[in-house]
Amino acid sequence: MPNLNDYLALDATAMAAGLRDGDFKASELVSLAVEQAHRVNPTINAINVEGYDEALALAADLDKKPAGLADGVAGVPFLIKDLSLLEGLVATHGSRLYQDAIATRSANIVVRYLDAGLVILGKTNTPEFGLTLTTEPMAHGATLNPWNLDYSTGGSSGGAAAAVAAGIVPVAHATDGGGSIRIPASCCGLFGLKPSRGFTTIEKDIGDSWSGMSVGHVVSRTVRDSAMFLNLITLDEAALYPMPAAPRSFADHLDAVPSGLRIAVQNQHPFGEALDPDVMKAVENTAQLCESLGHHVTVVEHPADYKSAAAAMNKLVCIHTFQTVNRRLQELGIDLEVADVENSTRQMAEMGARFSAVDYIRARDSLTRVEQQMAVFHQKYDVLLSPVLTKTTAKLGWLDMNTGDLNEYGARFRAYSGFTALYNGT
């Protein structure tokens, strides 16, 4: 039987192999995951909805399967971000407005995870409706960075990133509508991949994914875990956008060595914000590493019209925020003026309510033009290398969604971000 130190050293790929080979049982891994959750979660606040008893019961059932478990990830401990539905568990979306809303179905991506045999321990903390770059919701309190408890985990998949960085699970579900996989991965020292739009599971209500801008995947400690989990959610045919050709197994292609890639380096903020020296140095070091590996590295200016993209995406997110909030307001029979939501959420919902159908179409058209610009850009370059954030990880409290000074909040949001969101619209 593995001990806790053994568990903390394993990634999901190693856990899955050990389960298949009979080196340990699902119940042993899940028990250790729950033990680690009890050890660290009271401090870091990564998990806000617990399902430990159900997870232990499921793991015990998996133990009864003869000759080990089937191929894949069956029996591996896992967590779901609290923006996605898991039937039978509360789905708060990081908001007091949804604090007692029990999900009556599971999201499509969650169904894929359940069908694969993952053992879900609960749900991870997220800012209200996933609307900001840190995970400090009024509904559940701040998630603390395991590397330094004074600092943010990033957002909006901050609970997921903290849980993985602290060793509760080796990999956790995350979503990304503007950087929400990539930013927490950067803040917590993890690997975070945002899949291309339409490449992975599509939810029943496209509004739940911000008109297709938000996609789901995971944060992980290893690249091979991300590849293995990508196989679980990749669509067999196009459902929203044209799909590029893809390998049958991403994990099987990890040892392939690309050569002579044309890599464009973006080292200037699209809106003129200053970059921290540490951020610039990280980009420079990565560019030099790529060059030493035989790739062709070129510094470029902005590859697309970021200002048009940002304005369009802001409109779309505000519209979908109003849609999400208003749906719950109708269920509760209350008005937005008295709704228990954070100040920036209220402002975004109010703005979303004022936008018209014409505004929505114009925003989508703007993103289409930017998408075309990026398509032209990638005829010349294979890869675009940029920072994730303008600064090193922010301290807790620096970016407050519930502040009374929303102008200052907006200024800090813009100064901190700017690189990641474009690629949710292209």
Instruction: Give catalytic residues, as residue numbers.
Output: 81, 156, 180
Residues in the chain: 426
Q: What residues form DSSP beta bridges with 174?
A: 217
**Contact present, 69 and 56 (Cβ < 8 Å):** no
Does 84 sit behind a cis peptide bond, omega within 30 degrees of 0 on the bond before it?
no
DSSP 192: E
Is 264 strand, coil or helix?
Answer: strand
Amino acid making up residue 16? A
392 Ramachandran zone, left/alpha/beta (phi>0; psi -120 to 50): beta
Is 383 strand, coil or helix?
Answer: strand
**Contact present, 261 and 216 (Cβ < 8 Å):** no
Tokens 């035989």 belong to: 294
- For helices 108-115 and 223-233, the axis angle rounded to 10 degrees is 110
Is 103 strand, coil or helix?
Answer: coil
**Contact present, 317 and 309 (Cβ < 8 Å):** no
Q: Provide the token pair at 123.
A: 């749900």
